[in-house]
Amino acid sequence: MSTSEQGESEPQSNAAEQQEQTIRTGPDLFDWGAKTYVMGVLNITPDSFSGDGLGADIERTMALAREFVANGADVLDVGGESTRPPKVYDGVEPVDADEELARVIPIIERLSSEIDVPISVDTRKSSVARAAVGAGAAIVNDVTMLGYDEEMASTVGELGVPVVISHIRDRARYVDVVGEVITDLIATVHRAESAGVARSSIILDPGIGFGKTAAHSLSVLRNLAELTNLGFPVLVGTSRKSSIGAVLDLPVDDRVEGTAATVALAIASGADMVRVHDVKEMARVAKMSDAIVRRWSPQK
């Protein structure tokens, strides 16, 4: 079922306008359509699904952040709570706001004072989002589709920062996964706007792996153009995800080629930003993909 069959045509009417607009994040500017932006993942947790949790080691985190920027990261995404589903992974425990703040605020303060790229905070809690923006973060990335904390939408609207709205469901049950992802995201856009979030501040994420089987995630990627055609900037996070493991039968730390394939094809379908763990490799993939998709030509 296409989006037109769902009766949700309002965002499509503004597609041209959305593609031309820019989003300001502090001193930085995203020029959507000019390139694919690379978001490097900094997991300030002991239990990251990808095995790259940095814990409380600020100096190690800073070193990795500098390495990411040197290798092509345009954004750094700082998260203090694992988003792996506890029903799937043993040892995953929710983190309260105080603990999450203790993890992310010191590193965000250091990053914002020493590194000149926008910082995103990956959180589902409005109190953490508010404190993180106060500490220097420029983007809020909420993997719960603004659904976990009822204050998140109004908080983001008040802060006036860009927000990544990532699709998620509690259960991987769909009749039409692509159509339902789009319908859910559009409904959340309307709710966010009603809470004071500017339409020009919204970035959509199809939520690969969140409340989706491998087959669901592959279907969303296969039909990603239906989402990118809505006129909002689109972020795609496939890095090391279980759908890649399901296809290649490889562990989390051996999925770089699979990630590269998904990144390249997402860019070909119109993705504006990719969230990745392997920044050097994926920045190269993005640059090569952009050369093809965005018609790069050598300077004479």
Give catalytic status of residue 275 as yes or no: yes
Say how far apart CA 289 and CA 264 lie, in whole Å.
Answer: 6
Q: Is residue 212 flagged as an active site residue?
A: no
Token pair for residue 50?
């990808």
Contact 233, 23 (CB under 8 A): yes
CA pair distance 61, 84, nearest whole angstrom: 21
| Residue 139 · residue 162 · CB < 8 Å | yes
Of the listed 103, 125, 240, 275, which one is catalytic? Answer: 275
Query: What is the SS3 assignment for 187?
Result: helix
Token digits of residue 119:
């910082």
17 by Cβ neighbours in 10 Å (0-12 / 13-18 / 19+) ranks as exposed
Contacts of 64 (CB under 8 A, 6+ apart): 42, 54
Close Cβ partners of 13 (under 8 Å, ≥ 6 residues apart): none
For 128, 146, 289, the CA distances from 100, given in Å and listed in that order, are 7, 18, 36
Angle at 166 between CA 294 and CA 122, to 5 degrees: 100
Out of 241, 284, 287, 295, the active site residue is 241
For residue 121, count CB atoms less than 10 angstroms from its CB and return exposed for 0-12, middle for 13-18, buried for 19 or more: buried
| C-alpha–C-alpha distance, residues 40 and 91, integer Å | 25
Query: How many angstroms separate the most distant Cα atoms in the chain?
Result: 56
Q: What's the rounded Cα separation, in Å, for the pair 164 and 234?
A: 9
**Which residues are tagged catalytic?**
241, 275
